[in-house]
Amino acid sequence: MGLTLTVDGPRWRDHLRAYADAAPGLVPVVKGNGYGFTPGRLARRSEWLGVDTIAVGTYEELPEVASRFDGSLLVLTPWRPFLPDLDPALASRVIHTVGRVDDVDALLTRQPGARMVLELLTSMRRHGFAPRGLWEAAGHLRRHPGARLEGLALHLPLAQGSHLGEVRRHLNDAVGAGLDGLDTVWVSHLTRDELTTLRSSYADFTIRPRAGTDLWLGDRGALSVTATVLDVHEVDRGDSFGYRGRTVPKSGHLLVVSGGTAHGIGLEAPMGDSSIKARASTLARGGLDAVGFVRSPFSIDGKQRLFAEPPHMQASMLFLPAGARVPDVGDQIDVRVRYTATTFDTITVS
């Protein structure tokens, strides 16, 4: 009865199915906290979707998904020589991402038949080859006949105008490298229209879109997050409470609800929204902070309530001013969370 994610199963599955049907070659991304669902659950869901490959973020994440999904496992973080050897049982299922010339030889020396995608440095500037590095890598690959080149990987920034120009430039670089057997491109963050255009002008390539957020969280209406009211205390102005012995500014109720820092509640994770409006609301929250209380992500009857003090590890204390409806112990209240930073106590899929 803690922090609970309730999933409208039929609606969620319909969305997943529709998304996968519209995105041939889809590679579901199953990394980190599994977008709140846990990676294991998403691995099983991917098996149900019938895809042949899923992507994880790191090598450490492989064991949790490998037993729940039977297909290929693409690791998004580039392979590095300091990584331990793979579990031999997984070796043939794992597709490595390689982004440095030295790593091509190092990986193939350790695992001569390794499957790999070559990542190109995009405008993200995160990992990957510059064009000349790719030319060199092509030469190295030719010296390792056992290597299995599974394609080219592009990790694009979130859309700011069209990505197609950049994708074309990278594909040109890849063609220039003269990579034997290069016929697949793994991409993220392309719109439907961009994918359609790409599939037509690069019909000689297989385009494999990677998707995480848009796939798993694409229909927010199918998801609801609730916390449980654990205790309720009536307070008067001036009463002291909490770890730090703060005093209540006016009469009302203190609510103890499930959900704390251990769940990811109360972390000031950036919302990925940098509009003026979003920045103004950040400022407004700061204003409340000056008064003493901070707006919480918990809401009762549609109204967001204030934290009475910073969240605890597994519970939070809210202040409810006099006049508001007071929920009972055991009631569920709504919580707004950032899914990629939240751990739920219970996940219920109908």
Partner 1 sequence: MTYDVRATTPAEHLAYVDAQRAASFLQTPAWGQVKAEWRRESIGWFRAGSDEQVGAALVLYRQLPKVKRYLAYLPEGPLLDWTTDDLGALLRPLAAHLKAQGAFGVRIGPPVVTRRWDAAAIKAGIADPACRRLGDLAPTDRDAAGARVVSQLTELGWRPQAVEGGFAAGQPRHVFQVPLRHPDGTARTEDQVLAGMNQLWRRNIKKAAKAGVAVRQAQGPIGDADLKAFHDLYVHTAARDHFTPRPLGYFRTMVDALGAESPDRLRLWFAHHEGDLVAATIAIRVGAHAWYSYGASSTDKRDVRGSNAVQWAMLQDALAAGADVYDLRGITDTLDADDPHAGLIQFKVGTGGEAVEYAGEWDLPLHRPLYKAFTVYMSRRG
Closest by CA to 241, choosing from 309, 289, 288, is 309
The reply on whether position 173 binds partner 1 by CB under 8 A is yes
The reply on whether position 206 binds partner 1 by CB under 8 A is no
- As to burial, measured by CB atoms within 10 angstroms (0-12 exposed, 13-18 middle, 19+ buried), residue 218 is middle
* Of the residues 58, 201, 346, 350, which one makes contact with partner 1 according to CB under 8 A: 201
Binding letters toward partner 1, positions 130-149, x by CB under 8 A: -xx--x--------------
For residue 315, give the 3-state DSSP assignment: strand
Q: Which stretch binds partner 1 (CB under 8 A): 84-92, 151-159, 202-210, 242-250?
A: 202-210
The reply on whether position 286 binds partner 1 by CB under 8 A is no
The radius of gyration of the chain's CA atoms, rounded to the nearest angstrom, is: 24
* Of the residues 89, 203, 283, 291, which one makes contact with partner 1 according to CB under 8 A: 203
In the chain the first and final C-alpha atoms are separated, in Å, by: 17
Structure token digits, residue 207: 């385009």
The reply on whether position 89 binds partner 1 by CB under 8 A is no
The reply on whether position 350 binds partner 1 by CB under 8 A is no
Decide: 94 and 111 in contact? Cβ < 8 Å. Answer: no
Query: Rounded to whole angstroms, how far apart are CA atoms 247 and 9?
Result: 44
Q: Which stretch binds partner 1 (CB under 8 A): 44-52, 186-194, 195-203, 330-338?
A: 195-203
* Of the residues 158, 175, 269, 322, which one makes contact with partner 1 according to CB under 8 A: 175
For residue 183, give the 3-state DSSP assignment: coil
The reply on whether position 123 binds partner 1 by CB under 8 A is no
Q: Which residues bind partner 1 (CB under 8 A)?
A: 131-132, 135, 169, 172-178, 197, 200-204
